[in-house]
Chain A
Amino acid sequence: MIELLPKTHIDFVKKRFIFFTISGIVALTGIISLAVKGLDLGLDFTGGTMVQVKFEKPVDISAVRTALKGAGIEAGIQTYSETNSFALKVKGTQENVNETADKMNSALKTIQGNSFTEEKRDYVGPVVGRDLSKKALFAIVLSMFGIIIYIAFRFSNPVWGTAGVIGIAHDIFVALTVMSLANREVDLVIVAALLTIAGYSINDTIVIFDRMRENMKKFPKMPMGQLINMSINECLSRTIITSLAVFVTVLVLFLFGGSGINNFAFCMLIGTITGVYSTIFICSPIVYQWEHRAK
């Protein structure tokens, strides 16, 4: 039998303030970054036009920029250099569907000695973006309440569900912070990634909470801190194996999955790390803190 870990006896609860501090610093960085840099919201939310073109021959980004400038278009330009592809985005309210895209097309035709094909064209009108973000947010908030209620029912105490949901919020916030710091765009696919992170995070938390519930029945007299430590240590090998498996899966997608899912995989990578971290270092100590105060 191969074992990744021998039996461990790490005192997680004692070190909780270190991790509260770490998360506090990350949260502060996040707030500053989100306030100063903000999120690079995709067309899905801002509305606007995106055209992705692929040139026959290599072309310099400055040539593309000059061509667009010449037509009076201020576009964000993203390059996929390995395929000579460029994604050109003009964000903001645009009432007419093809206006901007057609202008961009004719501007690009002025680049001499090269031809291009349009690979992708997105137009999102102003109402649609608002509707999409409203619905996604609504669904997320409702499902969080659903989770709190279910866990309160199964664990006969609302603290578990609340701690679990705090963990989810923590993980989503950290993921958004990193997206902001890394200048990566947040679109609907990232919303799907955040949902996956939320699912993964709560799954991980429940597994350890379940072990605590079991140990509380087995050792009713054991002090809370000791019980939490014991439960986390007992589950540690499972936690590491599962998260390693997920991490490797996502890493492969990140490295080789192509431009379509690169952003998604990046966000998921952050999520797998913070998902495990929050369970052990945030959710469990919150339960301890709560029970501690109750006594």
Chain B
Amino acid sequence: MTKLHWKLGVILGLLVLSVYLLYPTVDWYTKTNDERGKLELARMRPKKILTLGLDLRGGTHMLLELEAEKLDKKETLNDAVARAIEIIRNRIDQYGVGETPISRQGDRWIAVDLPGISNAQEAENLIGKTALLEFHLVNSGEGAQAAITKVESLDGPPFDKDGNLVPEVAKLMPKGAGLYRADDNGEEGGTRVKYYVLDTSVPVTGAYLENARVETDREFGYPNIAFTFNKEGGKLFDRFTGENVGKNLAIVLDGVVHSAPVIKSRISGGSGVIEGTFTLEEARNLAIVLRAGALPAPVKIIEKRVVGPGLGEDSIRKGLGSSVVSFLIVVCFMLVYYKGGGFIANMALVLNFIILLAAMSYFSATLTLPGIAGMILSLAMAIDANVLILERMREEKHLSKPVAMIIPTAYDKAWSAILDSNMTTWIAAIFLFQFGSGPVKGFAVTLTIGLLIGMFTSVFVTRAVYEFWLTSNPKELSI
């Protein structure tokens, strides 16, 4: 085997490998939407395929910030964020949507990419809810009564903008108690929000929950949420209710009182019911978030981008259509202007495209609009490399050199320009990849991979093709 055979072998091998790697992606995207949806739900989506970004396929992107100030002192921020990611993943998995990348960004940010949007609002509630379930005793002392009376006499809400109690209520408030809002607006036909004064100490929380599920109220048919404690929680709850028979127990979820029934007797067996005015959907989602556990601290949505599926499809169709047109224009031009040389350059371009897509599938990369920009730049530079080589060939041809000499000389002379221009762009791409975020990163990824492959196809591959052609001892170079 000669060196040339090796080269051609490598190229053919790579082509076969690329087609092999590309097959799952092609297979996936030729399926109908319904089929894909079913497979996604069954978690049977192939791993190593090219994913379309949310800007192209539609979906919801959210960036959440963990409110570190409200974190339990015992837990480090690092652990808390990691735990929050786990819990959010758990909730999304139980809710049942397709592949959802959840990633950490910076110190305390969490990015969630939800593909498709059956109901963006619902998903938001599911992810953003802290789901901290607490059981407080209702404070029925004189101070508490006075505070409630005062609150009811106020015109506005008893909290100021920062969420602190207004001073006239705060001074009436008994020690170790706090004011909590109720979730049912105006039970007795009024529009006023109801408030409770509760002891701030929390003997039992949702951390001890073992299970939560939707149950229908026997009397009125409202959906309720039934919960079960684990062993430890059951014991705590048993003792707590035993000590406080006759008092009111408030069930508080994320700082809002859902109900405050009287403890009629000691509650053993470790189970209970949250009553409230839920719709069935709300109850279902609440059960999910309770099962998955509470977030270590509340999260705040600091960025949200929703792209409707129609818009995504529209941008794909138009973008794809015009890309194909530009691609054809360039290919035709190369063919007409450089003839045989143009044909070889076009072959390299097509190969470049195939290998690039295969590599991106292999790395399970996500293709976004800026990513496509990166691809276009890398393809343009690959063409440019070929133009450089072909122009050199023409120069050498003008000097009436024999074909066998034109080719190596042209490659040698063009090489330094190709190397340097690719390397400088590559340096920029690496920095962008390192420090860029979101769309900038998408651009950098495709550009970085694209440049490497472009150098390979436009120099190594085309040269091997010329060398192969030289073995037939040609007299005339068609460029």
Contact = CB atoms under 8 A, between A and B. Distances in A.
Interface string A175-217: 0000000000000110111011011101110110111011000
A143 B306 contact: no
A147 interface: yes
Contact of A202 (B65, B322, B421): B421
B425 A258 contact: no
A119 B388 contact: no
Interface in B382-407: 383-384, 387-388, 391, 394-395
B443 interface: yes
Contact of B427 (A131, A147, A189): A147
A2 interface: yes
B306 A121 contact: yes
Interface in A155-180: 164
A16 B97 CA distance: 61
Given A120-B308, A245-B330, A199 B428 contact: yes
Interface stretch (B173-181, B208-216, B432-440): B432-440
Given A202-B421, A203-B384, A123 B370 contact: no
B315 A198 contact: no
B369 interface: yes
B6 interface: no
B423 A142 contact: no
Contacts of B369: 189, 192, 260-261, 264
Interface stretch (A20-28, A29-37, A133-141, A280-288): A133-141
A241 B376 contact: no
Interface in B281-332: 300-308, 310-311, 314-315, 317-319, 321-323, 325-327, 329-330
Does more than half of chain B's interface fall in helix, strand or loop, or is it mixed?
A: helix
A252 B322 contact: yes
B421 A257 contact: no
B311 A198 contact: no
Contact of B440 (A139, A150, A250): A139
Contacts of A4: 337
B380 interface: yes
Contacts of B306: 118, 120-122
A248 interface: yes
Q: Is the interface of A mostly helix, strand, loop or mixed?
A: helix
B308 A256 contact: no
Contacts of A196: 373-374, 376-377, 443
A252 B319 CA distance: 10
Interface string B427-452: 11111101111111001000100000
A278 to B, nearest CB: 15
B20 interface: no
B151 interface: no
Contact of B431 (A132, A143, A248): A143
Interface stretch (B67-75, B188-196, B261-269, B412-420): B412-420
Given A143-B427, A198-B428, A237 B391 contact: yes
B55 interface: yes
A292 interface: no
Contacts of A246: 380
A226 B307 CA distance: 56
Given A118-B308, A124-B303, A136-B440, A199 B447 contact: yes
Interface string A49-80: 00010100000000000000000000000000
A255 B377 CA distance: 19
B454 to A, nearest CB: 11
Nearest to A134: B435
A248 B387 CA distance: 16
A238 B428 contact: no
A174 to B, nearest CB: 18
Contacts of A124: 302-303
B66 interface: no
A97 interface: yes
Contacts of B417: 206-207, 210-211
Which interface class (under 10, 10 to 19, 20 to 34, 35 or more) fits B?
A: 35 or more
B253 interface: no
B10 interface: no
Nearest to A144: B428
B55 A260 contact: yes
Given A128-B303, A142-B431, A242-B383, A256 B325 contact: yes
Nearest to A254: B322
B110 interface: no
Contacts of B308: 117-120
B428 A146 contact: yes
B459 to A, nearest CB: 14
- Greatest chain B CB density within 10 A among A4, A127, A192, A202 is at A192
B164 interface: no
B302 A202 contact: no
A200 B380 contact: yes
A258 B321 CA distance: 10
B425 A203 contact: yes
Contacts of A125: 63, 65, 300-303
Interface in B350-378: 369-370, 373-374, 376-377
Contacts of A192: 369-370, 373-374, 439-440, 443
A253 interface: yes
Interface string A1-24: 111100000000000000000000
A99 B365 CA distance: 34
Given A97-B301, A123-B301, A143-B428, A203 B436 contact: no
Nearest to A97: B301
B47 to A, nearest CB: 27
B439 A189 contact: yes
B95 interface: no
B370 A189 contact: yes
Contacts of B434: 139
B333 interface: yes
9 contacts: A119-B308, A123-B304, A125-B301, A147-B428, A154-B420, A196-B373, A199-B381, A210-B416, A248-B333
Given A1-B339, A119-B310, A252-B329, 14 more contacts: A98-B124, A118-B306, A122-B305, A150-B423, A150-B424, A188-B439, A192-B373, A193-B373, A196-B443, A200-B377, A202-B424, A206-B420, A242-B384, A249-B376
